Structure 1
Amino acid sequence: MVRIGAIVLNVSDRRRAAAFWSQALGYEAGANPDFLVPTDGGAPRLHLDEDDRTHLDLWAADEEEQLAEVDRLIALGAKRVEWDYPDDADFVVLADPDGNLFCVINAGG
């Protein structure tokens, strides 16, 4: 089953957002400076992005689970979203029944 791997926040200033959210949540900078990670490892990471809209990234263990979860979520009422995917995309963009976008990520690939 998928889990919340990251929460993507649209921010206007990554440094300012990183300083705030690190202190607010007790997170620390990840290997990629766009990511804040929990110090205890038990919570989803926070992805600070100046271009993308706020959304959830749901992580699947591998491509097989990703495809099965996309089908399961569509059966629950999600819809596929037209998206300009890069050639090496490891994600599928869906919308929940209210139109909120989220991604299903192949976290193993």
Structure 2
Amino acid sequence: MLRLGAVVLRVSDVDRAGAFWSEALGLERHPDNADFLLPRGPVPATRLHLDRRDRTHLDLWADDAADREVQVARLVALGARRVAWDYPEDADFVVLADPDDNLFCVVG
């Protein structure tokens, strides 16, 4: 049986991206290959969301709407930026871009 082993992001600077995503997600750099970021502790199950309209991106889940706003502020302080987006009226997510302009959502 196969399992989702990694999400691959194209980046222009591995060190900058590694620093951003390590802090954003509480990951650590692999001791033998800094291109890989590993979880600390047990690995939670990752959902693969199939969608006909959306482009490939990460969905980061916050605990609730209040935590979502805290996490968005933290990620922006780390170097992410808010992206202008046409949000639905009942949106439970915020669209951000990492320092390499990879889009991702914070949902909560």
TM-score, L = length of structure 1: 0.60
Q: Percent identity?
A: 64
Count of residue pairs the alignment pairs up = 70
Q: Secondary structure at the residue paired with 1:86?
A: coil
| Deviation at residue 42 of structure 1 after TM alignment | 3.2
Partner in structure 1 of residue 84 of structure 2: 82
Out of 62, 73, 97, the residue aligned to residue 95 of structure 1 is 97
| Other-structure match for 2:59 | 57
Letter in 2 for 1:42: P
Separation of aligned partners in 2, 1:64 and 1:51: 28
Q: Return the offset for 1:51.
A: 1.0
RMSD between aligned alpha carbons? 1.7
Letter in 2 for 1:81: V
Which has the larger share of strand? 1
- Specify the alignment match of 2:25 in structure 1: none
Q: Find the aligned partners of 1:42 and 1:98 in 2 and give their Cα distance.
A: 26
**Structure 1 unaligned residues grouped into runs of 5+:** 1-22, 27-40
**Post-superposition, which runs of at least 4 consecutive aligned residues in structure 1 deviate over 6 A?**
none
**Structure 2 unpaired stretches of 5+:** 5-42
